[in-house]
Each structure stands twice: as C-alpha cells, then as structure tokens.
Structure 1
Amino acid sequence: MKIAEMNWIQVEERAAEDDRCILPIGSVEQHAYLSLATDMILAEKVSVDAAEPLGIPVFPAMPYGLASSFASFPGTLTLSLATYIGVVKDLLDSMYRSGFRRILVVNGHGGNTPATVAISEWLNAHPDASVKFHDWWRAPKTLAKVQEIDPAASHASWMENFPWTRTTDQRQPTTSKPRIDFAAMARVGSAKKRELLGDGNYHGLYQRPDEDMLAIWDVAVLETRGLLEKDWH
C-alpha cells in the first residue's frame, strides 16, 4: 500500500491498527546504461511488492543518498554525510510521530550503510520502537540466487538490469566486462574513479534474460516480506 495513495486520516487509522511501515532509500547515481535512479526504483518496487498482500504502508523512496564516489558522473546527486544522517533521523522522527513503531528501511544502495549508525543512535532514544535495515540485493537468499545464476555480478551489471531500470538508450554491450581494480578505486577521488570505471559497470555481463531477473525478483520480494512478518522484538 503506497502512502501516496492514502490520506492522513487513513494513515492514522492504519498505524493504530498495525504499527508497521516501510521506508525505501536509494540513490541517484551512474549505473552505466541503466537508469540513474536504479537504486531508488528497485528499493521502492521491492518494498511495494513485498508489502502489498499485507497492507503495510510504503513511504515514497528517499531518492538521494551517499554517492560521492560517482560525483564526477553527470546526473549523480549526493548528500554530505552530515546532511544524510540528519535526514534519516528526521524521517524516523516523523514516522514515529505518525504512530509507527516497527519500521523496515529497505536500502538499494551500498553507500547508504552509514544510515545504520543513525538508526542505532535513534533507537537508543526510542526504546519502544524497532527498526530493521535491509540491503535487499545482498540479503542471504537473494544474493544466493544471484550467485547461482551468475557469480560475476556487480554495480551497474546485469544484476541491476531489470525491465523497470532500463532507459530508452538501446546501447547495451553484449560482452562481459573484466573486474575493476577495487583497491585502486578506493584510494582516488571521483574524477579518477570515472577514468578507471569507464562506463560505470564494475564487472560482468550487462544484461541477462528476463527469466533470470524475474526469478531473482521473486526471491527478493519473498525475503523482504519475511522481514515484515516476524522477528520484530
């Protein structure tokens, strides 16, 4: 159930009946030939699909995250760490005031991991609340399915190439990209990172059959739904 399709009265009634909700968080950053909003799109869609049969409200995805590594790629937008931590805490405060006490944060971007520190600090001040942080794409069952299909899976590679993350740009290499030098990437700024990355794919194929992608998606949705259904306290 999308919050965008509810009014405030419905939200108040829902929170009084069931205090669970979902906040998807993503990033607007380069994804080679895929949408700049890939992380946001996937985090929100897996949240909506997982919550649908349970009637749990899903807030609109927080689109912007920590993407300083890709700052030199046009279209990439990034927040500073201090701003980001503040935004995460402000959103948690707002959901708490709305009556939600069990919050699932569904993350679509590896760079957003510092949000877990903000969540930990926030929980210390809200002992009656419970927050789960879920990296949907590398959760155990989902990652195992990805590895089963093709272990050469990475940022901006085939593993993020779903029908809903593609653009109108039909260019899509058919070769497999060699693995980048991660150590070299870690010690340079975004301009040099862009030189090292080229189109932005870290390694692997750019696209696999939709049959493979939908099989991964089914696992991801069920795994995310499982987090909504149990082990809150």
Structure 2
Amino acid sequence: MSTQSSHGLSVALACAEGEWSHDDWPAPDDRYVGRVLHIPPPYHALRETEVDVVVLRCEDPSVSFPGLLKAMGAMSAPVIVVSPRGDMETVVEVFRGGAGYLVEGDYCTCMLSSAVMAATVGHTYLSPTACAALRDAARRMPGEEEARERLRSLLSPRERQIMELLSTGLGAQEISLRLRLSEKTVRNNLSNIYAKLDARGSTEAVLRWLGATSRVRV
C-alpha cells in the first residue's frame, strides 16, 4: 500500500496486515486521494489520526463494522466498507449505519477514489452488487409499493431521474456528467429532493426512494 503526501484527501485504511489487495492505490495522479494510513484492528489508533474518510476492509462487516464505529468514538469521518460479502442482510445493515459499501470484485480503484470523494460531501456510495442487494431488500417488504409510488409522485421528472441515478451509487458529479447538467444544478435538485422526501441526506433519500424506510430508519 502506498502512503503519499500530497494535497489530496487523507484516508485511514482499517484492515489487517496483508488483507488489502490494492497496493498501487492511490496512483500518483489520483484526482482525489493523496494519503493512505494503515490502521490495523482493533483500530484504536484511529482516534489519534486526522483523516477525511475511513475505509474498512473486512471479511464480515456484521462483526467488524460495529467494532470500527466503537473504536472511532467521537470521530465524524465517513466510512466506506469493502468486503467480499454482498448478501442483502449485510449490505442493508451497513447502509443503515450510514456507510458506503463496495463488494470486492465489483469495483475498480477509480470507483474507490470516487467513493472516497463522495463520502466527504455526504453521499453514501454503493457498488452495483451492493445496490442490487438494497433494491432486493426493498422489494421484499410487503405493502410498500403504493407508499413508494405516492412518495415518488412528489418529485418532478428531472428529480426522479436524478434519484434513479443516485440510488445506483452515482454521486452528484457523475450524475451531472450523465445528464449533461452542471454539478451545481444537480446539487440544487438534490436539496429539493431531500426536502420533498423529508430526508436528512442521500442515504435516507435512497432508502425512501427504494421504499425501505418503513422498516429501515437511518
């Protein structure tokens, strides 16, 4: 793993020695990440660091994620979980905790850097498999379809388009490129969306959009 000193974001990589497979990350020309610090379990050294984002790489997030949050204490840095597990229960549990989720083999290092950047502006990033797991969880909740459609009707066609992209794990910058809008326009739309959905941020907005908030409250 490379540890760099630059003007990019600072990331704490919380994982056991030898468990991280991206020794070439961040690349020297990475647009977002400039420094990576390795913090081994039980992660107590996190409280002595000043980082922008924490990336937790673990085999079982149901055990490691709560342990990480406990070790972080009052730290407010956002968390991204990287794990080989992509089952519905695990993804929902992590997402409920407000963390992004990347399933191993389902992302590239460019996506990882984008997820880190997105986390600093309050976006909870999901890789495609994690996103599909969250959608499956929403579909399995009985009696949610009517409530979900009623809530979606509050949004304009453009806002629904943006929410559809947001729920697939894209951030404001990526959405702006996809829709050929300015990033400021996308962020203004997101602010309106959060107000209409009575959501405190992107995580809760996605849960409401997918119809998962009656059982899952962030």
TM-score of the two chains, using structure 1 as the length reference: 0.34
Higher normalized strand content (fraction of residues)? 2
Structure with more contact order per residue of length (Cα contacts < 8 Å, sep ≥ 6): 1
TM-score of the two chains, using structure 2 as the length reference: 0.36
Q: For the pair shown, which has the larger CA radius of gyration, 1 or 2?
A: 1
